[in-house]
Amino acid sequence: MIPVQGYEGHKVAVLGLGRSGLATAAALQAGGATPLLWDDSPESRARAEAAGWTCHDLNRADAWEGVSALIVSPGIPHLYPAPNKLIARAMAEGIPVDNDIGLFFRSWATRDWDNFDTAPRTVCVTGSNGKSTTTALIHHILDHAGRPTQMAGNIGRGVLDIDPAEDGEVVVLELSSYQTDLARALTPDIAVFTNLSPDHLDRHGGMGGYFAAKRRLFAEGGPDRAIIGVDEPEGVYLANQIAVAREDDRVIRISAARKLGDFGWSVFARKGFLSEWRKGRQVASIDLRDVRGLPGAHNHQNACAAYAACRALGLAPRQIEEAFHSFGGLPHRSQTIAEKAGVRFVNDSKATNVDSAAKALQAFQNIRWIAGGLGKEGGVASLRPYLGAVKKAYFIGHSGRDFALELGEIPHEICETMERAVARAAEEAEGGDTVLLAPAAASFDQYPNFEKRGEHFTQLVQALPG
């Protein structure tokens, strides 16, 4: 746990009692503050009370007397589409509003660091897609190289729940736009921006607000090194805003689409090869084509980001390359779960929209594609350009027949259930085929979440003979 600094002897309200909220309350208490816990959900309050906490109704007229700050869980809106009424009240009364990320950055460094040979460092990863894989990959590479490291934030543990720093440790944080938007302190040593595509637009008042929330990690944080994906206009803009000159190597541009050889420092992937360039010349290259845990161009972009971060931390290209090959990928994200009789089975249940499904469909050859579920607005017709490697589709769920109507030009079968889809795909698959679960739809028609859908697919595959 990271005891929160700066609030000793003060009352601090905590709104939202999920994983991060309860960790925040414990960290505040460890730092000498008095946390006042509240959640609008009776179920969440009951779980907190079962864990030994006392809830403090922030709706009462006198609830805010003597409160020094309000700490908000990331899922609670503070501005758009409308601020939560308790956050609005705090702001109206001039009570500072923050989140656990802000508390972490004001509390991470301690006097103990004076005795360290090497100061601990933080690497923060944000963007629309690939955040989790990039974060986990950086953590894996550091661990493989023997560097002390922890992973937290939007993946793994809450930031205040991690252990106090060791000498030379690197903490790798995945940060969503919800987390970067509100944090009052953002001071990463290395900040990573993967890419940008429309998401959470209602929460940020549109695309501009969404990008602005991501940009805060760089504009407010002033990282020593900024690693920026430049395959979208926003990334090009962000890199240009930070760099003071073309050769400024504090900015490492990354791309999975084009060569970037003319900058001070760049890392890019083309045709399955990762290249590192500095001051106009290539200094390293890695063949990514046989890295099983990072298939496809989207994962090659993740590899570029993780490579750049680890190079900025002083690791050698050979160390990073070795770690790439032992990275198994994250569950439900282009995850190879089995290979039977020459047929590869891949769980990409996280591909809940057409954009992520398109990336998965471009990552493999000879695909037997399991898709469907609760379809999203706009349908799946935009996937047609990405179906060249699909030998047959097996449609499931509520929108299975709609998918078949929109994509009827490819061989397909209406299977309705995951059981039948897996059985039929496995029965028809030949050596060299890939059975790919990339639903392009939400899971809520048949499963509580995409994780349960992926777990069911995995169980069915593991039960297959061979």
Select from 458, 200, 213, 230 the least CA-distant residue to 353: 200
Q: Sign of the C-alpha dihedral, residues 354, 360, 365, 369?
A: negative
What is the token pair recorded at 74? 């990331």
User: Which residue's entry shows tokens 């006392």?
Assistant: 54
Query: Does 81 sit behind a cis peptide bond, omega within 30 degrees of 0 on the bond before it?
Result: yes
Question: Strand 390-396 relative to strand 367-372: parallel, antiparallel, unpaired?
Answer: parallel
Asked if 108 contacts 2 with a C-beta cutoff of 8 angstroms, the reply is: yes
| Positive or negative: CA dihedral 62, 63, 69, 72 | negative
Q: How many CA atoms lie within 13 A of 397 on its CB side?
A: 22
Q: CA 94, CA 186: separation in Å to the nearest integer?
A: 21
User: Is 334 annotated among the ligand-binding residues?
Assistant: no
SS3 call for 49 = helix
Tell whether residue 128 is among the known ligand binding residues: yes
Strand order across the 343-347 sheet: 335-340, 343-347, 434-437, 367-372, 390-396, 412-416
Sequence-distant (6+) residues with CB within 8 A of 271 are none
C-alpha–C-alpha distance, residues 282 and 254, integer Å: 14
Q: Is 133 annotated as a binding residue?
A: yes
Q: Is 41 annotated as a binding residue?
A: no
Q: Alpha-carbon distance 158 to 100, whole Å?
A: 8
AA letter at 128 = S
DSSP 3-state of 98: strand
Contact indicator for 319, 197 with CB cutoff of 8 Å: no
The SS3 call for residue 347 is strand
The answer on whether 132 is annotated among ligand-binding residues is: yes
Residue 357 main-chain phi, psi, to 5 deg: -65, -40
| Dihedral sign of CA atoms 239, 245, 251, 253 in order | positive
- For residues 103 and 321, what is the distance between their CA atoms, to the nearest angstrom? 35
Binding residues for ATP: 127-133
Binding residues: 127-133
